[in-house]
Structures are given as structure tokens and as C-alpha cells.
């Protein structure tokens, strides 16, 4: 390498590339770094904040937890966690059937799945709201302003896309392993449970994480269904915390934002390559 | 043996299910709730068929997901279409029987008011009983509101005033103790009394209240108990003969009325036109700018000899990894006209009067939104483009270089066309997503700023956020049915976009085969 002759023009072009890359990196990172600095800043408005605060303090973190951040985080993890795990379980079952069984209505079913997942659930938001309103008279625990109601809505909305995505993965798992299990007398369900599922575990984990992140960030449906500070998820809570209070709660919001983003950032970078390939397979963010 | 055990288990489970279904259906039928019966019967029959029929075997795998998808995606879509043909709105949201219930539980005090002193017995954490002193003697009421048999309590009454000195050893509670610990529970108590009921009226008294309205099933009418005025059941509410309506009412089928109102009433269709135009501009510009930036960065990083390219890539996708709602709220803070970072910086450079009304002026609000959205979505475009660039075979470039094509020529004739083959469907997907990207619009501007006094549609409202305002933040109450009309319209638009996307993908596949 060192012996290779390098022309000055090439060095200049290299330098330019690095310069441009660093400008882009600065553009990408500055909001996050700025907010990280703000969260430790003793002053609570935007005007006085700087990336490295003068007298760092944890006061903002304490204040935002007092305003309910802990409850919102727990609510969000509960709702997103339950909805995502049940969704993965149901979708794995459904995707396996679409991938391995041949039955009447299979093609129509696949087509229907693909059509359904192109329409965002939020288009029928009014209907969802009224359905929960009516369900509430019969089963108050899944009516409006309940976490279980929200979980069911999320669950229904995620089935189409996840089944579609997982079917593709199952198609890529060779059938020979299951077939030998079937020859040995296993039922199709046993073959699914003990042969295919263990092989698909990493993929299921990734789909779970993608779904979790998506639901973690969901605002619209949660805002319609949940009323009252104790019920809020993180997105609704943080929005209501800051929306009309940029002049006096910026520091607290920054602390909440850091905590709210930290978990997702860790998840995202831990599974970076798998998540990206999963997302690019067809999803746009959210 | 294993198979036999399973069969027995199945039979046991199905028997239990059947028994439960019959029990539930019978209960519902006895309660007069006939609508529930077919659901219970069909549900039980469906589960049995699923578990018994060999032909239903694949469906056993599909059923759980299908159930939730049906209930929370397909049913809402159909229901939404139905709502657009009704007058669902504030005052027309309950069922008729619920509306009757609401009306008949409205109450008025008798005149002159009738009040009975009461005494609560218990401790701070435990309420034993409430004793109401009525002319007919003391009334013992449990904390749940049930009238109890006085004989079942040990209630000594030394002075014979009808107020026991203690009950089962529990002393009478003072007003303050009662208020602090038991007030909310007791407040809910209604005790049937003569023609109405007794309920807590003051901190010391229960009052006698009579219903404001009475329902007459024979005439299907509501009667005002004070004035005797009769409100007959109309199509969607009770109306008196002089035309005075009673709220709440119930929804009814109105046919195409909402659609006709949408076309006739300039309030709606003018707003729609303005909102739709911005909606398209917003989606197109968001996709175009973020794609250009993403592609440029992808080309920048698509050099195997570039050092640190892995690091750059990881850092450049940070906006993708932060939950969008958090980033949006941060950017909203930066753009804030009065206390935001950008105006503070401008002021420190250009003097105290400098500053841009970022989110308070229609043009700048749109600018800020697109800017923020580009920041949010360029990582996706970059990742997609990087993948597509790496899939382009290097020989093509070598051949072009031999032909003497320069870098720009190589980009326009090789890179870009090949890139578009794989990226175009994703761009359409991104357009479709941004067309309905409610979150960023709502969290940044809530559709504002106002462009026209009296119109709810702001400068940055997209169709979805405008529909949302009509439904849940309505200036004229909640116009669910009009919001549903907008839902149907957006639905058609999305269907058209998806249709184009599908055919276009196929077209592009053919193009790539031709190469």
C-alpha cells in the first residue's frame, strides 16, 4: 500500500470526500448532541443551552421523572412489548401456513394480505375509535382509554405486513430438514415448532424489534385512545409535556428525550445490519 | 397413544367450549340482548369446525392473526365507509336505548327539596354502613348502595333518636373523616325511593331526586316530568311538537347527504382543494429532496477505498435510529419563533430584531416541515441507494470507460437508470407513506398556521390531519361522519397510488430484463 504512488489530485479528492462526509455527520448528529447537552443544563430554556453545559446537573432528569416519565415508559414498553410479541407469534403461525401448505384460497389470501398492508390503519381511525367506544359497553377492559384496547388495535394493524415479511423468510428456509422430520413421524405442527422455529429465531427476534420500535414511536392512535396522564404512552406524554411549553420545559423535555431515545438507539445499533435489511425489504420508517 | 390423548383433550375442550357458549347465549337471550347470540353461536361453531375438520387444518395456523386483522383493519374500513353514510357526530353517537338511558337518568330535586340526615359508621379505611334517618325510620345502606336489614346489625340507640350510637362496634364518622376517605364511593350510591331515588346531596344529607324525563315505550316518547311536554322519537333524536329537540340523540343512515354536503358546501370542498394541493407538494418534495441527499451521500460512501466509511455510515443513520416523534419535537423546539435555537443564533449574528417566523408563517412552516422530514428520511434513501449501487456490476463502468464516457455521462446512462429499477418502487412507497405522514405534521404544526379565519384547515394540514381535526377537535362538535368521508377519499387516493406502484414495478422489471 505504502509503495503505491499517490497523485496530488487524488489526495485532494479524498480530502474533499472526508470533508463532505464530516459535514453530513455534523448535520445528522447535531440535534441529538445538542439535546444531550441541554439535558444536563441547569437552565430550562433553549436560548441559554449549549452543547457542553457549564454547570452540569441531573435536575432535569429528576424533574421529568416527577412529571410522569417513568409511568409513560412503563406503559409504552408494556403496550409495545405485548403487541409486538403476540404479533410475532401469530404471524409466524400464519406465515408458516402460507409458506408450506397448499390450500384453497392461498393465493387470494396472500393477495389480500398484500393489499391490506398498503392501507395504513390510521385511515379508518374514526371507525376504530367508535368500535372501541362500543366494545367498552360490553368489555370495559378493552374499551377506550385502556392499554388492552390499544394493544388489540396495534396487533390487528401489524398482522398484514409482518405475515408478509415472515413468509418471505420462511420461503428461504430449505424444506429438506422438515421433510426428514415428517418422515420420522412428526406432525406438521411439531416440524414447525421444533425444526423451523429454532432456525427462524434470529429473524423472529429482528421482526419483534422492528415492530417494537414502530409501536414505541406510534402517536396518532395512542393519542385518540388514551386519556389521562397515568395512561399515556411516551409519545403522547412527551408531546403533552412540551407542546405549549418550549419556553419553560425545554430542559426537562431534553432529559425525557435522551432517556426515550437511548433504549431504541441501543436496540437499533445492536442489531443494526439485520434491522436495516428487514426495514428495507419493504417498510418505510414507522 | 399420543394421538388418542390428543383426541380426548380435544373432545374435552370442545365440550367445555360448547357448554360455555350455550350458557353465555342463554344468559344474553334472557337479558334480551339478542344481538350477542349469533356471535356466540357462530364463534363456538367456528372454533369447533377449525379443530375437527381436516380441511380446516391450514386455517388453524391462520386463524389467530386473521381474527385480529379482521377486527382491527377490515371491519374498521367497512365501518368507516358505513359511517360516511350516517350522521355520526356529537349528539349522535350513542345507540337509541343508550340515549334513552342517559335522558332518563337525568334528575331534578323535588320542590321543596326533601333531605334526610345520614350518618356513616366505620374507620378511616373501612366503611361499615350508612344510616339514613327517614320519617319511616332508619335506613341501613351498605357502601355498595344496597338497603340492608336493620336486624342484621348490632346498633344500640340509647337516646332513641333513630341514629344508632355505633354499628357493630364502629363509631359514627365525622364529616372530615368521611369526606377524606369515603366520599367518592358514597357519591355513586342511588337508592330507589318512591318515584325517584335518594342520593348524596350535601355532606350531611341524602336528597330525594326524581327523574327529569320519563320514557313511554308505547308512544315511543320522552316525557318531561315537570312540564309534561312530550318529545316523540324522530329519525335521530326525540323532538317535541314545537320542534324542540332533546340531546343526546342517536345516529341514522343519511345516504349520500355527507358527500353532497362535501360537494355543495364551499367550507369543505375549498378546504379540501387547498389541503390536497399541499398534501401532494409535501409528499413529492419530501421524497425528492431526501432522495437527492440520500443518493449523494450514498455515492460519497460508495468508494471501497474510502477510510472510515463504516463509521460514516453508522453515524449518518442516527436520524433513522432515534424515534421520529422525539426528533420532531426537538426540531420543533429549534424552529420555535420566540425561544428557538435558530432565531437565537440569527439574533446573535444580525441583531435583536432578526428572526424568521419559522412555524408561524405558511411558507416557513412548510419549509421547516420539509427540512425536518428530509433530515428524518435521508438515511433510509441513503441505505436503499447504497444497496442498489453495490448491486450494479462493475464491468458496465469499465465498458463505458473504454467508450470514453466521462463521470457525468456514466452516472446518467448507467448508474441512475439501473438504480431506479430497484429504487423506484421504494420511492413510490415513500411517497405513499409521506402522503399520510400524520405524525410529523401534527407534532410540528398541528396543521397550522391559520390561513383563513373560520376555516379549520391550516397551511400545513394534510388530508389525514384535517380529517382528524374534523373528528376529534371539531369547531362544530365532533364531525365523525365528515371525517369518515375524508377517510374514504384518502382511501381511494392510496388505492390509486398502490395501483400505479404495482403496475410500474412490473414495467420496471421488464425494462431491466431488456437490458
Looking at this predicted complex, what is its ipTM?
0.90
Integer-rounded Cα Rg, in Å, for chain A is 24
For residues B228 and B295, the model is more confident at B295
**Nearest residue on chain A to B62, judged by CA atoms?**
A94
Shortest CB distance from A131 goes to which of B79, B329, B467? B79
Q: What is the pLDDT of residue A48?
A: 59
Residue B286 has pLDDT above 60, yes or no: yes
A–B interface: beta-carbon pairs under 8 A? 254
What's the pLDDT at B395? 84
The answer to whether A62 contacts chain B (CB < 8 Å) is no
Mean pLDDT of the region B267-288: 93
Cβ-based neighbours of B142, under 8 Å, separated by 6 or more: B129, B130, B148
Answer with the residue of higher pLDDT: A232 or B225: A232
Distance CA A51, CA B388 (A): 37
Minimum distance, in Å, between the CA of residue A170 and any CA atom of chain B? 14
| Cell (9 digits) for B70 | 379482521
pLDDT tens, B11-43? Answer: 888 888 888 888 888 887 887 777 778 888 888
Nearest CA in chain A to B430: A284
% of chain A at pLDDT higher than 90: 38
Find the helix or strand (DSSP H, E) in which B223 lies. Answer: strand B221-224
Task: Tell me, yes or no, if A10 comes closer than 8 A to chain B by beta carbon.
Answer: no
Band (B514; pLDDT cuts 50, 70, 90): very low
pLDDT tens figures, B115-127: 888 888 888 888 8
Q: Cβ B443–A156 below 8 Å, yes or no? A: no
Q: What domains are there in chain A, each with its CATH number? A: 8-58 (no CATH), 61-280 (1.10.3720.10)
Q: Taking 50 as the threshold, does the pLDDT of residue A284 lie above it?
A: no
- What is the DSSP annotation of B372-399? HHHHHHHHHHHHHHHHHHHTS-HHHHHH
Work out the angle at residue B395's Cα, subtended by the Cα atoms of residues B394 and B396, and round it to the nearest 5 degrees. Answer: 90
Evaluate if residue A286 carries a pLDDT over 70.
no
> For B218-248, how does the pLDDT look when each residue is reduced to its tens digit (9 = 90+)?
888 888 888 888 898 888 889 888 888 888 8
User: Residue B494's pLDDT is what?
Assistant: 87
Contacts of A13 (CB under 8 A, 6+ apart): none
| Among the partner residues B306, B339, B487, nearest to A246 by beta-carbon distance | B339
**Which domains are assigned to chain B?**
2-83 (1.20.58.370), 107-211 (2.40.430), 262-514 (1.10.3720.10)
Q: Do A261 and B319 touch (CB under 8 A)?
A: no
What residues of chain A lie within 8 A of the CB of B491, using their CB?
Answer: 119, 123
Amino acid at each position: 500500500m505504502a509503495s503505491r504512488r499517490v497523485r496530488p489530485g487524488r489526495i485532494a479528492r479524498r480530502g474533499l470526500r472526508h470533508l463532505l462526509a464530516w459535514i453530513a455527520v455534523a448535520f445528522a448528529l447535531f440535534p441529538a448532541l445538542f439535546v444531550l447537552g441541554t439535558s444536563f443544563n441547569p437552565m430550562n430554556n433553549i436560548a441559554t443551552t449549549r452543547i457542553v453545559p457549564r454547570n452540569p446537573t441531573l435536575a432535569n432528569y429528576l424533574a421529568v421523572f416527577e412529571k410522569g416519565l417513568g409511568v409513560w415508559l412503563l406503559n409504552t414498553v408494556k403496550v409495545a412489548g405485548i403487541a409486538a410479541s403476540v404479533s410475532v407469534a401469530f404471524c409466524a403461525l400464519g406465515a408458516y401456513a402460507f409458506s408450506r401448505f397448499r390450500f384453497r384460497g392461498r393465493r387470494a389470501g396472500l393477495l389480500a394480505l398484500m393489499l391490506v398492508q398498503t392501507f395504513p390503519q390510521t385511515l379508518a381511525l374514526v371507525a376504530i375509535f367508535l368500535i372501541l367506544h362500543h366494545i367498552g359497553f360490553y368489555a370495559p377492559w378493552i374499551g377506550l382509554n385502556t392499554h388492552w384496547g390499544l394493544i388489540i388495535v396495534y396487533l390487528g394493524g401489524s398482522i398484514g405486513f409482518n405475515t408478509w415479511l415472515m413468509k418471505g423468510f420462511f420461503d428461504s428456509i430449505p424444506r429438506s430438514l422438515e421433510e426428514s422430520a415428517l418422515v420420522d413421524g412428526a406432525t406438521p405442527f411439531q416440524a414447525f415448532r421444533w425444526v423451523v422455529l429454532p432456525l427462524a429465531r434470529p429473524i423472529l427476534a429482528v421482526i419483534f424489534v422492528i415492530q417494537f420500535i414502530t409501536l414505541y414511536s406510534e402517536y396518532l392512535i395512542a393519542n385518540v385512545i388514551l386519556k389521562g396522564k397515568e395512561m399515556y404512552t411516551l409519545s403522547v406524554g412527551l408531546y403533552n409535556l412540551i407542546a405549549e411549553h418550549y419556553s419553560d420545559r425545554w430542559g426537562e423535555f431534553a432529559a425525557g428525550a435522551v432517556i426515550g431515545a437511548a433504549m431504541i438507539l441501543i436496540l437499533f445499533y445492536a442489531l443494526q445490519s439485520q434491522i436495516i435489511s428487514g426495514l428495507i425489504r419493504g417498510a418505510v420508517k414507522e | 397413544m399420543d394421538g388418542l390423548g390428543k383426541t380426548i383433550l380435544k373432545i374435552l375442550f370442545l365440550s367445555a367450549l360448547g357448554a360455555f357458549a350455550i350458557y353465555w347465549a342463554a344468559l344474553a337471550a334472557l337479558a334480551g340482548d339478542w344481538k350477542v347470540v349469533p356471535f356466540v353461536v357462530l364463534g363456538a361453531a367456528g372454533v369447533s369446525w377449525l379443530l375437527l375438520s381436516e380441511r380446516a387444518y391450514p386455517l388453524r395456523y391462520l386463524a389467530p392473526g386473521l381474527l385480529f386483522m379482521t377486527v382491527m383493519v377490515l371491519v374498521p374500513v367497512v365501518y368507516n365507509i358505513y359511517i360516511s353514510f350516517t350522521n355520526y357526530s356529537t349528539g349522535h353517537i350513542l345507540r337509541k336505548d343508550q340515549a334513552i338511558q342517559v335522558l332518563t337518568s337525568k334528575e331534578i330535586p323535588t320542590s321543596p327539596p326533601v333531605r334526610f340526615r345520614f350518618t356513616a359508621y366505620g374507620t378511616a379505611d373501612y366503611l361499615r354502613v350508612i344510616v339514613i334517618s327517614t320519617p319511616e325510620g332508619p335506613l341501613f345502606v351498605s357502601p355498595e348502595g344496597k338497603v340492608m336489614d336493620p336486624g342484621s346489625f348490632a346498633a344500640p340507640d340509647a337516646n332513641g333518636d333513630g341514629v344508632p350510637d355505633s354499628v357493630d362496634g364502629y363509631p359514627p364518622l365525622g364529616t372530615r373523616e368521611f369526606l377524606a376517605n369515603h366520599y367518592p364511593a358514597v357519591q355513586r350510591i342511588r337508592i330507589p325511593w318512591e318515584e325517584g331515588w335518594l342520593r348524596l346531596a350535601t355532606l350531611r344529607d341524602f336528597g330525594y331526586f326524581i327523574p327529569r324525563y320519563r320514557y313511554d315505550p308505547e308512544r315511543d316518547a320522552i316525557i318531561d316530568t315537570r312540564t309534561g311536554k312530550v318529545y316523540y322519537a324522530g329519525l335521530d333524536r326525540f323532538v317535541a311538537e314545537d320542534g324542540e329537540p332533546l340531546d343526546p340523540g342517536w345516529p341514522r343512515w343519511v345516504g349520500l347527504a355527507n358527500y353532497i354536503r362535501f360537494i355543495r358546501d364551499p367550507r369543505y370542498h375549498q378546504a379540501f382543494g387547498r389541503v390536497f394541493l399541499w398534501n401532494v407538494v409535501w409528499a413529492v418534495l419530501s421524497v425528492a429532496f431526501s432522495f437527492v441527499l440520500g443518493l449523494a451521500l450514498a455515492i460519497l460512501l460508495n468508494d471501497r477505498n474510502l477510510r472510515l466509511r463504516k463509521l460514516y455510515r453508522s453515524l449518518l443513520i442516527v436520524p433513522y435510529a432515534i424515534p421520529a416523534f422525539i426528533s420532531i419535537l426537538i426540531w420543533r423546539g429549534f424552529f420555535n419563533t420566540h425561544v428557538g435555537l435558530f432565531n437565537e443564533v440569527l439574533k446573535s449574528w444580525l441583531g435583536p430584531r432578526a428572526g424568521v417566523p419559522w412555524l408561524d408563517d405558511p411558507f416557513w412552516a412548510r419549509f421547516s416541515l420539509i427540512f425536518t422530514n428530509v433530515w428524518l428520511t435521508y438515511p433510509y434513501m441513503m441505505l436503499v441507494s447504497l444497496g442498489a449501487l453495490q448491486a450494479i456490476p462493475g464491468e458496465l463502468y469499465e465498458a463505458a470507460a473504454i467508450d470514453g464516457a466521462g463521470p457525468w455521462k456514466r452516472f446518467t446512462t448507467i448508474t441512475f437508470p439501473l438504480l431506479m429499477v430497484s429504487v423506484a418502487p421504494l420511492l413510490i412507497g415513500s411517497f405513499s407513506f409521506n402522503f399520510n405522514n400524520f405524525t410529523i405534521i401534527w407534532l410540528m404544526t398541528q396543521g397550522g398556521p391559520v390561513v383563513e379565519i373560520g376555516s379549520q384547515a391550516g397551511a400545513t394540514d394534510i388530508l389525514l390531519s384535517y380529517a382528524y381535526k374534523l373528528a376529534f377537535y371539531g369547531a362544530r362538535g365532533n364531525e365523525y361522519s365528515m371525517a369518515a368521508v375524508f377517510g374514504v377519499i384518502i382511501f381511494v387516493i392510496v388505492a390509486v397510488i398502490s395501483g400505479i406502484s404495482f403496475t410500474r414495478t412490473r414495467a420496471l422489471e421488464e425494462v431491466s430484463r431488456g437490458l
